[in-house]
Amino acid sequence: MEVVINSCFGGFALSRKAIEEYSKLKGVPEIYHYMNDYEENVIKKVSSTEADITSSLFVYTFTKDFGDTIIEEDLFSLTDGYIYSPEIKRNDPDLVRVVKQLKDKANVQYSDLKIIEIPDDVNFVIQEYDGNEWIAEEHRTWS
């Protein structure tokens, strides 16, 4: 089985292009990018090109169109249709395909995505330190 991890300090995140390609494979007809506008204290809809220019930390991607702006206070209540790349299953064949296809273009500024091959019958967990990840076999723990 192939699993995608982040192999540098920073954290797992997909580029806007990778999110777009992944969404297409999942049958999502269109996605919408929004970005913080700190001068006007709103979240504005931006094009894919504009979204790629900035850090992924300040771009939010949805499968729904919320209009030209979102009031900043309302942003975190809009969970319906939000595409948050760290929540994608890391062994999702479509995710693996996108990372293979885009290579370095699947990364954001603080990620370096890597595909790891593990045996199909392994129950795994992804562990990390400061965003640098590795795969471990799942086991029982108590605290």
C-alpha distances (whole Å) from 89 to each of 1, 4, 55, 75, 124 are 13, 9, 22, 24, 12
pTM of the full predicted structure? 0.87
The tens digit of pLDDT for each residue in 111-138 reads: 999 999 999 999 999 999 999 999 999 9
Looking at the domain assignment, is residue 39 inside a domain? Answer: yes
The Cα–Cα gap between 33 and 52 comes to: 10
Looking at the domain assignment, is residue 14 inside a domain? Answer: yes
- The distance in angstroms from the start CA to the end CA of the chain is 30
Residue 2 near residue 117 (C-beta atoms within 8 A):
yes
Looking at the domain assignment, is residue 142 inside a domain? Answer: no
The tens digit of pLDDT for each residue in 19-40 reads: 999 999 999 999 999 998 888 8
User: Mean pLDDT across the chain, nearest whole number?
Assistant: 90
Please give the residue range of the domain that contains residue 49: 2-137
Number of domains, the chain? 1
